[in-house]
Every structure is written in C-alpha cells, then in structure tokens.
Structure 1
Amino acid sequence: MCRRRAALVTFSSSATTAKYSSRLSVTSTISFSSSSDQKRVLDLWYRSFDSSERLSTTRMQLSTIDLILVGVYFLVMLFIGFQTARRISTPDDFAVAGRRLTWPVVFATMAATFLGGGATMGRAGQSYEIGYAFMFAAIAFPFQTMLVGWFIAPRLNAYRKSETIGDIFELHSGRLARLLVGILGLGVSIGILGAQALALGTIFKVVFGMDPTLGIIVGMVVVLLYSTAGGMWADVQTDVIQFIMLGIFLPVALLIGVFTAGGPSDFVARIPDTHLELFSAFGFWEFLAIFVAFALGEALIPPYVQRAFGATDPKTARKGYAFAGAFGLIFYFVSASLGVLAFVMYPNIAADDAIPAVVTELLPVGAAGLVAASLVAVIMSTADSLLNSAAVVFSKDIVKGFLVPNIKPRQLLWTERASNFGIGLGALLFALNAESIVDALLLTYGFWAPTVVVPLVAVVVTKQRAPVAVVAAMTAGAVSSAIWTFGLGTPADINAVIIGLPINIIVLIATYALVDAPRNRRTGTEKVVAA
C-alpha cells in the first residue's frame, strides 16, 4: 500500500483500543506515519461532535444571581413554546413556520442550529491543546453552508408545497424514493438528537453540578415541551433568542478575558508560536482530511432543508444561509480564541475545562450566568431543531407518504405533535440507558452522504424527473456502503462513504441517461414544476 497520506477520512468504531472504545475514529484512508498520528486526528475529530464525553466535567462555581439568570432562561423558553402554540393551526405551521421566515430569522435559526456544543466547548478545548490549526480545518463547514445557501437553498425554497426532502423526491421519483429518504432522514435526525441529549446531561453537570442523568431529563423535558407545543415556530423563536445569547455573550466573555490578560497586544504576544501555526499539530494530509470531513459532514440534513423551505422567498433563503455561514466563520474564531485565552491564562488545566475556567475565573457576577445560559442554549437550539425535523419527517414521509396517504390536515398536525413528543421521549430514554450513541451516530452519517446528498442536489438543480435514477442511486449507495462496512469489515480502514458516494453518482448518471431521459423524452415530462 502506498505510504503517502491520503486526504480522505475514515469513520470507524475503534474497538481495538479501550481508550477509544465506542468512540468515533477518523484516520487517513491510507496509513499515517505513526499510530500516534491516528490517535491525535481521531481525538480531535471526535471532539468536533456534540458528544457529551468530550465536554468539560468541571463544575462552574456560579453565584446565586448567575443561577437565577440561567433559571429565567428556561422559563422564557417554556413561555415561548406555549405562547406560540396558538399560532399552530396547520401542518405547514408546525413544519415550516408557515413559510413566513424573514432573512434575519433564517440567519439566526440556521446559525443557532449548527453551532452546537462542538462549536463552543469542543472547539475551545481543541484550540487549548493545539491552537488555531483545528479551527482552520473546521471552517470548511461554514464555507459549505455559504455555498449551499447561494446555490441550493433558493432552489429548495422554490418548492412552495414541500416540507421535507421526501416531498421533493416524490415529485421527481415517486413514493418509494420518499420512503427511503424518510427513513434515512429520520435516522440521522434521531442519531444527532441522541448526542445532544447526552451533551445536555454533561452541560447541566458543568453549570449546576447536577447529576448528568437528571440533567438529561431536565434539559430534554424543557426542549420536549416547547417544541411539541409550538412546533417550528417555537423552535425558530427560541433559536433567535439562543442565537442572540451566544452571539453576544461569548464574544463579550472573550473581550473581558483578553483585556484581563493585558489587552490584545499582550494577549497575542503571550500565545505560543505552536498555537499560531497552521500545521503545528498535524501535517498537510491530516489537515486536509479534517477539512474535507467538515465540508461533507451535515450537508442538507433535514433541519437545514426545513429552514430553506420556511423562508418567505428564494432570495430570503439565500441571504439567511449566507449570513449564517459567514457568522459561523466569526463564531469559530471566537470559540477557538476562548480556548487559546484559557491556555495563556491557565496552562495547567484540562483542555475541556477551557471555557469553564474563563467563565468562573474572569467574568463578573451576572456575566458568568449569562454565558453559562448561552452554553446551555447552544445545545438546546440544536436539539429542538433536530427533534422537530425528526417528527416532521416521520409524519410526512412515512405516515402520510406511505402508511396513511389520505390523512386529513388536522390529523396530520396531531400526528406531528405526537411524533415530536414520542421521538423526544425516546431520545431521552435512549440517552439515559446508553453509555455512548456515537456508533449509531456514525452509522447515520455514513449512510447519508452516499445516498441522499447528490441525488437531492441533482434534482433541485436540473428539475428533471428521475423515477428510476434516484431510487437506483440511493439503493446502490446504501448497499455498497453496507457491504463495505459490514460484509467486508471496512478494508484498509477506508470509510464506506469513499466507496458509496462514487457508486451513487455513477449509478445516478448512468440510470438517468439509459432509462429516465429516454422515457421523459417520449412522454414529454422532463421538467418538474417545483411549486
């Protein structure tokens, strides 16, 4: 095997090393120069997810005033949920907020959804250890969000009667395609939701000193109540508040910390050179591997697509997405700088204690409580969006799309609410009874990219009817990925995405050219009317 490192990423369960048992492993598809290289990239990539195991376990020593502020935040979230319940009269209201989202709201809810615990606590911990290098690799995701917003989001918004990816696939490819993408979308949403539930348990331990089990229950119950009552309207309104909190209070925490360290000039002068170098912690191929992984990570998963549907018009969707991606670039810098600041001020603490140390040691009473509430908010904002999208996907793509096609709108609305409650309760129970859901999360990630992303982009860009090509491509991508992973045991640790995605693309193009295109020409039904 060639010894040159490859810029490809492998996701696998690390069953051979106890330290990384049940964790997400990411290594180069062609061997690194040493096992330590693999472990370093593995650990860094693992921490980019919102998994509870990598969040700090050191309790923030908050004052009574700070704890009251955090409590007020929870009450406000619940109030919004029950207040917006009166606005939910149709499935469209519950699923896409009545398609009345302005671009600032799309901007805020998108940013709040993808900026979870990994983008705050995780990014700060990574930067504490290795400096800004990982931040530069991770910014692939905000860049991807900007590109999707500019080229894809307006086209998604043009489907004015669609609420899920399955709605689009049924227009282009029929009910079977809808069912397949519904199952996959439900899996990926629930998988990441489970990770958020675990992260809530840990963040409650950090903020309140609460037992993680009780933290999971409290956090998920709050999310469950306001999301079930208010649907996407509640999610969006709480996301806006959560966005304001994380967009203001974390940068303020950074500014206070920098001036406590002697001002910007002194702070920069005290940063070690290794924390400023792009390839200080890993080589070029390792850097590229992480960059590509972030670029492909959560592209077009259900909650992001819902926000494109919910925008008032295509220009609104484009503008909201673009600003969210741009804000992500800034926020990644802020969270990374908080980690570097913690390293400068407290070089002997655990990396994952970076933000807790800054909050408890540098911030005054009141400000510490607001930042602590912001840390809870970043996880809840992601959890509520995933819960809502899972409920909508189940209700629209599986119940209405396959089980009960003639379900009435009022019944569908109550199905969405019941699904929201049931899925949220299931995620809560799963988190309470599972040490780690990383392997399940890994599985949904591994099957999303080689099945859904390319066919979705293809149909919304070309508007072509492809009843055979989409189903064939999704099936080929899923089957090849499954065989590679489970049948062959992931040879050479090459991720199944590397195998499944090219097969998915080849089958899509070939099947369309050989089957769908000739049929479309004969019937004169090549184009699909999005609206």
Structure 2
Amino acid sequence: MHYLDVMGLLAYFILLGYIGYRSVKKVNSSADFAVAGNKITWPILFATLAASFLGGGASMGRAGQAFDHGYAFMFAASAFPIATVLTGIFIAPKLKRYIGAHTVGDIMEQQFGRYARLITGIFSLIFCIGILGAQALAVGTVFNAIIGIDITTGILIGMGVVLLYSTIGGMWAVIQTDVVQFLMLAIFMPITLMIGINEVGGAEQLIARLPDSHFSIMGDYGPGMFLSLFIAFLLGETLVPPYTQRALAAPDSRNAKIGYTISGVFGFLFYFVSSTIGLIALILYPDISPDLAMPELIRTALPLGITGLVLASLLAVVMSTADSYLNSASVIFVKDIYQGFINPDVGEKNKLWIERLVNLLIGIGAVVFALYATSIIDALLISYSLWAPTILIPFVLGVLLDLKCSKSAIGAIIAGALVTIVWKWGPWDLSGMTGLSALVAGVSANLLTFTVIYHTFKNSRPATLITKNS
C-alpha cells in the first residue's frame, strides 16, 4: 500500500480511539453502557442499526457468494431486509412498552418467567460470540487481502481496536462509531462499485461477460436449497440481541419504528451493491477465493489515495457489527445471568465495571472462534442455527400476542435446540433424507412445541416479573 493509503487507514483508527475516549465521560451507569440512556432518535437509530447488520456477511460474504452463484444468493438473502422492515412496522414499537428493559432476556422474563430469562441469556450469549467471531474473521480477511499481513495478525489488530473503544465507551461509543462507519459505508461502497463497473467496460459489458445463470433468481440452487437459505436469512438474525437493544435504546415507539424500518429498506440497496461488486470481481479476478472478491477489487482497481479510505470503510462495515455484538454479549451476561442468578444485589458501579471486564473477555473468546472458522458465511449460518430455532418464536409470540405461559416458552426453546443439534451434528444425514435444513427443522419443532404446550398450560403464569428498576 502507498503511504497515503496507510495514513488514511491510521486516521480512521485514531478517530475510533478518540470517540472511545470521549465516550467515557458519558458512561456513568449500566444503562448508559447498555442502551445509551434511551436517547437514540430515529436518524441515529437508522444509521447505527444499518451499520450493525451490514457487516462482514453482508459485504464480503454477499460479494463472495455472488462471485460463486450470481444474484441468486442476493435474492435469498433479501429475506433479512424483508424481515427487518416487518419488524420495524409491527414489533419494534411494541418493545418500548417494556420499561427499563435492556436485553431480550428482560422481555422474556416479563412474558415467561425468570428461567426463560436464564435460558435466553445463555443462547443469546453463545449466538453473539458466534456472530462476533464471523466479523473478526472478516477483519482478518480484509487485512490479509489488502495489506498482506496474515489473517491471524489482522484479526488481532482489528479486534484490538474494537475492544478498546467498546470496552471503555459502551453503547455510547458503539453508536457514535457506527454513525461514522455508516457514513463511510454510504460514500465509499458505491464509489467502489462505480470504479469496478468502469474497469470491466461499463454495465453492458458486465452483463455480457457474465453467464446467464448469474442473473436468475435461483441460479444453480435447487428449490429446496434456495428456500432453506431464504428462511435462514428471514429468521436467523431477526430481533437478535444487538438489534433488539437498538430498539430499546430509542426514546419512544415512533423513533423505534421509523429507524428500524428505514434500515431494512436501506439493506436492499446495500445487498445489490455488494453482490454486484462480487460479479465484477468474478470478471476481473476469476481465480481468487470468493471471500476475497471485495478486498481484491479495492486493492487493485482503486486509484492511489482512495484505497486506504475504502479499506477503512470496508473495515468500518465489519467493525460496526463486531462492536454491536460485543457490547450486547457483555450486557446479556451481566443482566441476564450474573445479576439475574449469581449476584442480584450487585451495585450499579460494580455492574458497570463487570460489563467492561466481560466485554474484554468475550472479545478474546470471539477471536479464538474466528481462528477456527472456515468461512465468513459458514460462521454466520452456524450461528443463525443457535437463534431462530430457540429464542425467536417465543420472543415474537410473547411481544406480539402478549402470551405468558412459561412452560410453553421453555419447552419450545429446548425442543428447538435439541432438534437442531440432532439435525446438524447427529449421525444421520437428516437434511438429505428430508430436504429440510437444521434451522427449518428446529424452528418447526419450536413452533409446534410452543403451540401444543401453550394450549395445554395457557393459564400458567411466570414465577416472577422484572420491575421497572431492574
């Protein structure tokens, strides 16, 4: 890299460190660390939420899959922005009725009791670490492709910066850096696309040089595989802890609804941009690894002085998701597990310091996960199977319909988890035998179990409810 590009990259890291330093003054309580004092209006909510879910999977992962399968993967993955828009319209506003809630577990306890909170906390924590690991792997991939350092070193450098500002500044730092990262994303990803199209000779040449299958809705996927992918993205990351946390950080239902819905609409545009970048890379660099499609285009096609800024924007995309999951994981552990079941009387000051310590430890755990993950998308799909078949269905039914049968929620979570584990890691190829993915099988078992138990025990009530100040 030219020294001008290195200077642009260093300036970005210095800015993140400065934001973290300034944010320390605003973090005086656990509520500040977790939901930024519930002061996030819809324009900021839109920016931070969009920056959070458009991470390594939505950028490099989408580009890599388009490199292999064309726009078919984009069509399948568009299920996520669809789910985000629907969530913004119907669910996000209802989350604000849970006064004092910081986590999914807070809400699950109000609907289904304290043991539902504990189980939710455990699965949420594992899920967040898995997604965080995928983002850490993406950070290492960017450094490796563009600067040439090995992936392990890239992971350590990128995640070290994330750990620094998210640990000291909490949600205040995460949201402020997300806004910066969103602005960089909105500017430099389209610039990369336009330069790439020019490199292949224009849009007409791009279309002419690609196989027709790369423009079909299902590409080389069979109907079953396409449907499985669509459902995985429809359910796998819907209302996951960091996104729920964003809605809870809004001051009221109106801001939660508008911010959440607009971020989903923006997702459609970004998916098209990142997928098209993957197709451009296929023409220019047909022999590279798919996960390197976007970094390779940035490294070789962009003019001097722009490369460092675009690299920073690509890192921004990944790091904005990493910091969100990191912050959410630490808040989950402290509120849903530590305060809920280990030390209920923990003081506010001690709770804040524990959140910071856990933030650091979880980040280290995610780095270890990243070192063993085979690809960004594989890491995401494995993590998705830990959320949708367990927590999502009871959570959505509880919020939308105000259902409060604790037995149905706990039974559904356990059933969904067991079926998913057997389907995915058991001795039989159940996916091949039935045509159903582990996620679809787990979600089906979860919904069926919840329905049967609810209609059997629907008059039962949660053992305890959280209070306004919990």
Same fold by TM-score, threshold 0.5 exceeded?
A: yes
Counterpart contact for 1:162–1:168, Cα < 8 Å:
yes
Structure 2 matches for 1:446-525, cutoff 5 A? 446-483=385-422, 489=428, 491-493=430-432, 494-517=436-459, 519=460
**Structure 2 residue aligned with 1:253, among 186, 192, 197?**
192
- Paired residue secondary structure (1:447): coil
- Paired residue secondary structure (2:23): helix
- Paired residue secondary structure (1:163): coil
**Structure 1 residue aligned with 2:12, among 73, 76, 84?**
73
Are residues 462 and 73 of structure 1, via their aligned partners in 2, closer, same or farther at CA, if it must alter by over 3 Å?
same
Alignment correspondent of 1:382: 321
Structure 2 matches for 1:39-438, cutoff 5 A? 62-347=1-286, 351-432=290-371, 434=372, 436=374
Return the alpha-carbon distance in structure 2 between the equivalents of residues 270 and 209 of structure 1: 30
Shift of 1:266: 4.9
Return the alpha-carbon distance in structure 2 between the equivalents of residues 484 and 267 of structure 1: 41
Return the alpha-carbon distance in structure 1 between the equivalents of residues 282 and 442 of structure 2: 41
Are residues 334 and 201 of structure 1, via their aligned partners in 2, closer, same or farther at CA, if it must alter by over 3 Å?
same
Task: List runs of 5+ in structure 1 lacking aligned partners.
Answer: 1-61
Shift of 1:153: 1.1
Return the alpha-carbon distance in structure 1 between the equivalents of residues 72 and 2 of structure 2: 35
Are residues 123 and 427 of structure 1, via their aligned partners in 2, closer, same or farther at CA, if it must alter by over 3 Å?
closer
Higher deviation after alignment, 411-420 or 339-348 = 339-348
Are residues 372 and 506 of structure 1, via their aligned partners in 2, closer, same or farther at CA, if it must alter by over 3 Å?
same
Return the alpha-carbon distance in structure 1 between the equivalents of residues 307 and 450 of structure 2: 53
**For 1:117-153, what per-residue CA distance to the aligned partner results, in whole angstroms no more than 9, with x for missing partners?**
2222222233233332221121111111111111111
Shift of 1:341: 2.4
- 1:504 partner amino acid: N
Counterpart contact for 1:160–1:309, Cα < 8 Å:
no
Shift of 1:424: 1.3
Alignment correspondent of 1:18: none
Counterpart contact for 2:329–2:359, Cα < 8 Å:
yes
**Which protein has the larger Cα radius of gyration, Structure 1 or Structure 2?**
1
**For 1:214-256, what per-residue CA distance to the aligned partner results, in whole angstroms no more than 9, with x for missing partners?**
2121111111110001101111111111111111101012123
**For 1:23-52, what per-residue CA distance to the aligned partner results, in whole angstroms no more than 9, with x for missing partners?**
xxxxxxxxxxxxxxxxxxxxxxxxxxxxxx
- Paired residue secondary structure (1:468): helix
- 1:516 partner amino acid: K
Shift of 1:442: 5.8
Shift of 1:346: 4.7
- 1:127 partner amino acid: A
Are residues 125 and 173 of structure 1, via their aligned partners in 2, closer, same or farther at CA, if it must alter by over 3 Å?
closer
Are residues 344 and 445 of structure 1, via their aligned partners in 2, closer, same or farther at CA, if it must alter by over 3 Å?
closer
Counterpart contact for 1:174–1:467, Cα < 8 Å:
yes
- Paired residue secondary structure (1:450): helix
Counterpart contact for 1:455–1:508, Cα < 8 Å:
yes
- 1:314 partner amino acid: S
Are residues 496 and 262 of structure 1, via their aligned partners in 2, closer, same or farther at CA, if it must alter by over 3 Å?
closer
- Paired residue secondary structure (1:478): helix
Return the alpha-carbon distance in structure 1 between the equivalents of residues 46 and 304 of structure 2: 31
- 1:513 partner amino acid: H
Are residues 424 and 304 of structure 1, via their aligned partners in 2, closer, same or farther at CA, if it must alter by over 3 Å?
same
Shift of 1:263: 4.1
Are residues 383 and 169 of structure 1, via their aligned partners in 2, closer, same or farther at CA, if it must alter by over 3 Å?
same
**For 1:260-310, what per-residue CA distance to the aligned partner results, in whole angstroms no more than 9, with x for missing partners?**
444445544554433323344334443333222221221221111111111
% identical aligned pairs: 47
- 2:302 partner amino acid: L
**For 1:491-530, what per-residue CA distance to the aligned partner results, in whole angstroms no more than 9, with x for missing partners?**
354544333323322332233333233x56xx9x9x9999
Are residues 407 and 350 of structure 1, via their aligned partners in 2, closer, same or farther at CA, if it must alter by over 3 Å?
closer
Shift of 1:440: 8.0
Return the alpha-carbon distance in structure 1 between the equivalents of residues 422 and 229 of structure 2: 25
Return the alpha-carbon distance in structure 2 between the equivalents of residues 91 and 295 of structure 1: 32
- Paired residue secondary structure (1:191): helix
Are residues 475 and 238 of structure 1, via their aligned partners in 2, closer, same or farther at CA, if it must alter by over 3 Å?
same
- 2:445 partner amino acid: I
Counterpart contact for 1:172–1:466, Cα < 8 Å:
yes
- Paired residue secondary structure (1:406): coil
Shift of 1:490: 5.0
Are residues 328 and 466 of structure 1, via their aligned partners in 2, closer, same or farther at CA, if it must alter by over 3 Å?
same
- Paired residue secondary structure (1:160): coil
| Count of aligned pairs between the two proteins | 464
Counterpart contact for 1:392–1:416, Cα < 8 Å:
yes
Are residues 134 and 375 of structure 1, via their aligned partners in 2, closer, same or farther at CA, if it must alter by over 3 Å?
same
Counterpart contact for 2:29–2:352, Cα < 8 Å:
yes
- 1:447 partner amino acid: L
What is the root-mean-square deviation in Å for CA atoms of aligned residues?
Answer: 2.7
Shift of 1:154: 1.1
Shift of 1:441: 6.5
- Paired residue secondary structure (2:74): helix
Return the alpha-carbon distance in structure 2 between the equivalents of residues 440 and 288 of structure 1: 19
Counterpart contact for 1:177–1:471, Cα < 8 Å:
yes
- 1:461 partner amino acid: L
Shift of 1:371: 0.9
Higher deviation after alignment, 443-452 or 364-373 = 443-452
Task: List runs of 5+ in structure 2 lacking aligned partners.
Answer: none
Return the alpha-carbon distance in structure 2 between the equivalents of residues 423 and 357 of structure 1: 31
Shift of 1:429: 4.3
Counterpart contact for 1:191–1:437, Cα < 8 Å:
no
- 1:254 partner amino acid: L
- 2:322 partner amino acid: A
